[in-house]
């Protein structure tokens, strides 16, 4: 039955695309191409003379949330899309037809199980915004606090699960028949996308994300994050402080307020890199519909953001290799870029670093002949990924959200201030972060974090020796010799442990003494290092 539903959905997709005159898209779906001619016999529902962007937008709206989210993702890439198409797709961000207000109020009353007028002094009937997964109503609490109420669309989970099942079918077909699937990993990408969009259906999770981001930017002059009212939040309902900022898309209002667009654009870049590298917790759905500007101080503008359903994080290794790659781009160190791709495992370990360096240089040299303010970092990444695929680079699913967010930030920044020098703004943030990761405080932090493991390892050596000696009792000479060899190996391992501890602790003590001005810690490490080297000396 499930397979039949999936087939019906695939046919529905074909039908909608043909109905909106998007025949050229169907030619790319191969195995269902013959159905195109059947649908062409049916009456057209839409005049093909309508603008292409409008037809694409209407088709995506009819196909539902998964496809609306796709349209949202690409709407900010004005450097890759015709402006007419980008303008239409931008309407998907908060101009999706709402569900009836009576249904919204009924859902609220059911979840709270008490009269709404006992919880809210006002709930506006008309939605403030309607998106693909939820819609938002403005309201006020009993104490007069202005809030917004975000409510999931009815039956949205079933609809999304149905479309995700279709995406899994398409991914498996691609994995089987598409020669580039080994590098692209379509199944893993769909798995990652499914996890992301399912997470969006839990509004308590979004509330928790919002709270953490607010804490991360507490006291910041760059970004304001609204307050969450936890007593009113449910899995399908979120209540938070209402933001009275100006939409980032309202350029006319921003201009009339004498906004400093250069600072505004640069602040957006700094917010992104701060989230990724300092906090390792970044807003991964920063399309213009989710971003506002507070006009209190136009010379030093401050952002306000909403909708934290999609959050990205990275492993420590990914953070390190990304930062090193970015810095290598800035410094035009192409060999380092090639080596980092190999060290990180993004390309096979047997890749020749000199050949990859030449390929990277071929992409980057023409680009760096331009002023930095004219370089699109998004286009650089696309070119580098295309080049690396020649060396069997695998798509890293964990980096997809990061890449999408970076593309959005650059696209938005260049809209606000076309001369934006993304590199100049990002470079000092990355340089400072790398310094913190390699500095004495980082060494001390690593040492402190590993101290319990070192202590436990040292404690276990006597137990291991005792266990081996007990096993030796009653054994023959060969067994005893084997035990003696094992004991010698254990002793050598113990000595190596102490030597490693000593040669780590002593240089760390010197660095901390001269750079961190923490003499008591430095002396303690020095003492630990000397004792460790003594214990590890050859007998």
**According to the per-residue pLDDT averaged within each range, which of 109-118, 183-192, 464-473 is highest?**
109-118
pLDDT > 70 fraction of the chain, expressed in percent and rounded:
70
Choose between 287 and 495: higher pLDDT.
287
Average pLDDT over residues 71-87: 67
Q: Is 285 a catalytic residue?
A: yes
Q: Do 476 and 500 fall within a single domain? A: yes
Domain boundary among 438, 472, 498: 438
Q: Do 23 and 83 fall within a single domain? A: yes
Q: Does 151 fall in a domain? A: no
Q: Do 416 and 449 fall within a single domain? A: no
Which contacts of 8-17 are long-range, i.e. CB under 8 A and separated by 24 or more positions?
A: 9/162, 9/163, 9/165, 9/166, 10/166, 10/169, 11/35, 12/63, 13/63, 13/166, 14/39, 15/39, 16/59, 16/62, 16/63, 17/59
Q: What angle do CA 208, 218, 139 make, to 5 degrees?
A: 55
Question: How far apart are alpha carbons 269 and 425 in whole angstroms?
Answer: 7
Per-residue pLDDT at 124: 93
Q: Does 119 fall in a domain? A: no
Domain boundary among 415, 438, 461: 438
Q: Does 108 fall in a domain? A: no
Average pLDDT over residues 434-438: 75
Q: Does 174 fall in a domain? A: yes
Assigned token pair, 69: 């989210």
Q: Do 275 and 394 fall within a single domain? A: yes
Out of 285, 307, 318, 421, pick the active-site residue.
285
pLDDT > 90 fraction of the chain, expressed in percent and rounded:
26
Per-residue pLDDT at 228: 97
What's the pLDDT band for 184 if we cut at 50, 70, 90? low
Q: What is the DSSP letter of 225?
A: -
Residue 214 pLDDT > 50, yes or no? yes
Residues 6 or more apart from 292 whose CB is under 8 A from it? Answer: 243, 245, 246, 247, 248, 303, 304, 305, 306
User: Which of 366-380, 393-407, 449-463 comes out lowest in average pLDDT?
Assistant: 449-463
pLDDT tens profile 98-150: 888 889 999 999 999 889 999 999 999 889 888 878 999 999 999 999 999 99
What's the pLDDT band for 423 if we cut at 50, 70, 90? confident
Q: Do 428 and 479 fall within a single domain? A: no
Strand order in the sheet with 246-247: 223-224, 302-305, 291-294, 246-247
Q: Do 186 and 297 fall within a single domain? A: no
Q: Do 274 and 417 fall within a single domain? A: yes
Residue 52 pLDDT > 70, yes or no? yes
Residue 122: its H or E element = strand 120-123
Q: Which burial class, exposed, middle or buried, applies to 186 when counting CB atoms under 10 A from its CB (0-12, 13-18, 19+)?
A: buried
pLDDT tens profile 312-365: 888 888 888 888 888 888 788 999 989 988 888 888 888 999 999 999 898 888
Domain count, the chain: 4
Q: Do 286 and 390 fall within a single domain? A: yes
What's the pLDDT band for 61 if we cut at 50, 70, 90? confident
Per-residue pLDDT at 14: 75
Q: Do 281 and 391 fall within a single domain? A: yes
Residue 475 pLDDT > 60, yes or no? no
Domain boundary among 409, 438, 467: 438
Q: Do 344 and 392 fall within a single domain? A: yes
Average pLDDT over residues 413-432: 83
Q: Does 216 fall in a domain? A: no
Q: Does 508 fall in a domain? A: yes
Q: Does 127 fall in a domain? A: no
Classified as helix, coil or strand, 53 is helix
Q: Do 427 and 445 fall within a single domain? A: no
What's the pLDDT band for 77 if we cut at 50, 70, 90? low
Choose between 407 and 361: higher pLDDT.
361
Residues 6 or more apart from 11 whose CB is under 8 A from it? Answer: 32, 35
Best CA proximity match to 206, nearest among 311, 308, 313, 312: 308
Average pLDDT over residues 274-286: 89
pLDDT tens profile 479-530: 555 566 566 666 666 666 666 666 676 776 766 666 656 676 777 777 777 7
Per-residue pLDDT at 163: 82
Q: Do 434 and 456 fall within a single domain? A: no
Per-residue pLDDT at 108: 93
Q: Which burial class, exposed, middle or buried, applies to 115 when counting CB atoms under 10 A from its CB (0-12, 13-18, 19+)?
A: exposed
What's the pLDDT band for 538 if we cut at 50, 70, 90? low
Average pLDDT over residues 146-169: 87
Residue 1 pLDDT > 50, yes or no? no
Choose between 458 and 393: higher pLDDT.
393
Q: What is the DSSP letter of 276?
A: I
Q: Does 132 fall in a domain? A: no
Domain range for 164 is 156-198
């Amino acid at each position: 039955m499930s397979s039949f539903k999936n087939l019906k959905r695939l046919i529905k997709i074909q039908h909608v695309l043909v109905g909106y005159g998007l025949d050229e898209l169907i030619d790319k779906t191969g195995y269902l191409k013959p159905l195109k001619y059947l649908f062409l016999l049916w009456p057209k529902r839409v005049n093909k003379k309508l603008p292409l962007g409008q037809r694409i937008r209407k088709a995506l709206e009819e196909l539902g949330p998964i496809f609306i989210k796709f349209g949202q993702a690409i709407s900010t890439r004005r450097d890759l899309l015709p402006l007419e198409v980008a303008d239409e797709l931008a309407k998907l961000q908060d101009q999706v037809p709402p569900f009836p207000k009576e249904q919204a109020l009924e859902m609220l009353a059911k979840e709270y199980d008490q009269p709404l007028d006992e919880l809210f002094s006002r709930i506006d009937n008309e939605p403030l915004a309607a998106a693909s997964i939820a819609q938002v109503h403005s309201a006020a609490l009993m104490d007069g606090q202005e809030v917004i109420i975000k409510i999931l669309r009815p039956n949205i989970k079933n609809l999304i699960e149905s479309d995700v099942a279709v995406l899994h079918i398409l991914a498996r077909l691609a994995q089987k028949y598409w020669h580039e699937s080994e590098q692209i990993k379509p199944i893993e990408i769909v798995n990652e996308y499914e996890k992301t969009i399912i997470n969006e259906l839990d509004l308590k999770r979004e509330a928790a994300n919002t709270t953490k981001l607010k804490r991360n930017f507490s006291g910041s002059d760059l970004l304001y994050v609204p307050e969450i009212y936890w007593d009113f939040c449910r899995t399908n309902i979120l209540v938070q402080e209402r933001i009275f900022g100006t939409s980032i898309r309202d350029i006319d209002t921003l201009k009339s307020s004498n906004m400093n667009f250069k600072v505004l654009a640069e602040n957006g870049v700094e917010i992104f890199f701060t989230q990724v590298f300092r906090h390792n917790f970044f807003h991964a759905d920063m399309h213009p519909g989710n971003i506002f500007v507070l006009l209190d101080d136009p010379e030093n503008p401050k952002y306000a953001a909403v909708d934290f359903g999609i959050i990205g994080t990275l492993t420590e290794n990914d953070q390190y290799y990304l930062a090193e790659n970015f810095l290598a781009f800035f410094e035009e160190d192409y060999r380092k870029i090639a080596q980092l791709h190999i060290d990180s495992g993004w390309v096979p370990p047997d890749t020749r670093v000199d050949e990859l360096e030449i390929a990277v240089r071929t992409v980057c040299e023409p680009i760096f002949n331009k002023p930095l303010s004219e370089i699109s970092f998004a286009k650089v990444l696309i070119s580098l990924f295309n080049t690396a695929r020649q060396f069997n680079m695998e798509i890293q699913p964990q980096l997809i959200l990061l890449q999408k967010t970076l593309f959005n930030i650059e696209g938005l920044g260049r809209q606000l201030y076309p001369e934006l020098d993304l590199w100049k703004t990002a470079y000092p943030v990355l340089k400072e972060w790398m310094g913190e990761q390699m500095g004495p405080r980082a060494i001390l932090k690593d040492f402190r974090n590993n101290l319990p493991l070192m202590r436990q390892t040292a404690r276990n050596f006597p137990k291991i020796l005792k266990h081996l000696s007990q096993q030796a009792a009653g054994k023959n000479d060969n067994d005893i010799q084997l035990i003696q060899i094992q004991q010698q190996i254990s002793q050598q391992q113990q000595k190596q442990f102490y030597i490693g501890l000593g040669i780590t602790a002593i240089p760390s003590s010197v660095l901390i003494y001269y750079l961190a001005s923490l003499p008591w810690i430095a002396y303690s490490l020095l003492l630990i290092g000397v004792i460790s080297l003594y214990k590890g000396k050859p007998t």
